[in-house]
């Protein structure tokens, strides 16, 4: 027998001997691939349903609520802005006071002279 026929024969023997294992591996591989595709497809489908629900059911209700409470929301924003301004001013005054306290009198005199 030639060497090529021997290699082919050996390969056939190996394949025949391992056919059950090969078949099982192929089945496992196919099942795994199907599961992966289903997992991603299902995630996409669920995402689409959630997006549609948010658009059609929640968004109009949220808009309606915000419109109904527009005055209260604006008042809350105004209070927050005013409080932020007060905090900023207080912090600025504290820092300037601290810097002035640390400065020597000659520098303070020059600053006051320039200001007034």
pLDDT in tens, the chain (116 residues): 556 656 666 888 888 888 899 999 999 999 999 989 888 888 889 899 999 999 999 999 999 999 999 999 999 999 999 999 999 999 988 888 877 777 677 777 777 777 77
Q: What is the pLDDT of residue 55?
A: 95
Determine the length of the chain: 116
Residue 73 and residue 66 in contact, taking contact as beta carbons nearer than 8 Å: yes
Distance CA 82, CA 116 (A): 30
C-alpha–C-alpha distance, residues 85 and 47, integer Å: 43
Return the DSSP state at 2: -
pLDDT of residue 4: 61
Query: What pLDDT, on the 0 to 100 scale, is given for residue 115?
Result: 76
């Amino acid at each position: 027998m030639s060497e090529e026929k021997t290699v082919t024969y050996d390969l056939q023997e190996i394949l025949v001997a391992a056919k059950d294992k090969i078949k099982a591996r192929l089945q496992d591989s196919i099942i795994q691939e199907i599961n992966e595709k289903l997992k991603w497809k299902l995630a996409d489908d669920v995402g689409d349903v959630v997006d549609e629900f948010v658009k059609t059911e929640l968004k109009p209700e949220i808009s309606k609520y915000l419109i109904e409470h527009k005055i209260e929301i604006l008042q809350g924003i105004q209070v927050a802005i005013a409080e932020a301004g007060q905090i900023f001013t207080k912090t600025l005054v504290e820092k300037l006071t601290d810097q002035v306290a640390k400065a020597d009198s000659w520098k303070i005199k020059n600053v006051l002279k320039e200001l007034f």
